Amino acid sequence: MVTGIGGMVPPTAGGIGGVGEASEGAATGKDFASFIREAGTDSMETMYRGEEMSKAGIAGTADLNDVVAAVNDAELTLQTITTLRDRLVQAYQEIIRMPI
């Protein structure tokens, strides 16, 4: 049962994107471009890992479970990248269609 909300402090207007406070990304020194760059690098590493594990599986030097896991990770990464690309293109097309 809820006993009461008297001890709760409401958020201030400055706490919601306020000018005086640093955002989480700015506090760590990471901007959007860095985030995208790191996500791209991680995606490429996942794809390369899947490819290398596939080669090792064909050569018979890797465990089948490891090969399947790496290939599934690579497939999921490719689907995510493709979906993001499609959404970015769709958003760009919507922006172009906006009346000035």
Residue 92, pLDDT score: 94
pLDDT above 70 coverage of the chain, percent: 72
Domain boundaries, the chain: 29-97
Residue 47's contacts (CB-CB under 8 Å, 6 or more residues apart) are 74, 77, 78
Residue 32, pLDDT score: 84
Residue 99, pLDDT score: 87
Residue 26, pLDDT score: 52
Residue 52, pLDDT score: 94
**The model scores a pTM over 0.95:** no
Within the chain, which residues score under 50 in pLDDT? 1-22, 25
